[in-house]
Amino acid sequence: MSVRIAPSVLTADWGHLAAIVAVCQSGGADWIHLDVMDGQFVPNLTFGTKVIETIRGLTSVPLDVHMMVVQPEKYFEEFAEAGANRMTIHVEAAPHLHRQIMRIRQLGCAAGAAVNPGTPVESVGDVAADLDTLLVMSVDPGFGGQEFIAHSVDKIRRARLLLDRTASQAALEVDGGIGRDTIAACWRAGADTFVAGNAIFGASDPGAEIGALRECCRVIT
């Protein structure tokens, strides 16, 4: 199982967007994680189609779009056209989850489902085999820089068992409070893809930090 690092640009310096993207690429990022928030599903408001399109023009690294929005289906077509490679929607905002997952895939993008800390991973059991990503939130969504919720490790373990039981090929992604002190426990629990924002862009050498996080998992493989 390979380790994927997906830097989240949410807390980076948006005044230097091209430099941020260049650091992700030169540092060996597997995906670039883009947090789209609508101010309704979560209290924060971030960005949309134009930023996705701009970043797409700066890099060939896959864009992992995390949609923290109500009625996510309203954005599928425009995000796909803007250059998203992956779109992940929240179970809590998707009453027609199977239909929405299928629509994302019809548009040529990988489709994911995210579960908040208070939502059981079993809520995606009936669609697990159709997922390209299962995203476990290890903080309450809406803001960067939050502290990792410790019992998320057990949830990740249960998510891995669910994916294995359903023969799903989905990436098991973790988002929230990921850094050198938390990533190894998540890797041991079965996660393979890690979103990190503050840990990377708060480091003195963000590019090198991408490699350092990856190494935290490799040393226990």
Give the catalytic positions in this structure.
35, 175
Residue 146: DSSP 8-state? P
Q: Distances from the Cα of 44 to the Cαs of 12, 133, 201, in angstroms? A: 16, 24, 20
- CA gap 133, 129 in Å, rounded: 10
Burial grade of 152 (CB within 10 A; 0-12, 13-18, 19 or more):
buried
- State how far the alpha carbon of 33 is from the alpha carbons of 49, 58, 120, in Å: 14, 14, 23
To which H or E segment does residue 174 belong? strand 171-175
Q: Please answer whether residues 142 and 68 qualify as being in contact, where contact means their C-beta atoms are separated by less than 8 angstroms.
A: yes
CA distance 176 to 140: 8
Q: 28: which 2 tokens?
A: 């060996």
> In angstroms, what CA-CA distances link 217 with 64, 106, 194?
21, 34, 11
Q: How is the beta sheet containing 110-115 ordered, strand by strand? A: 4-7, 193-196, 171-175, 133-137, 110-115, 86-90, 63-68, 32-37
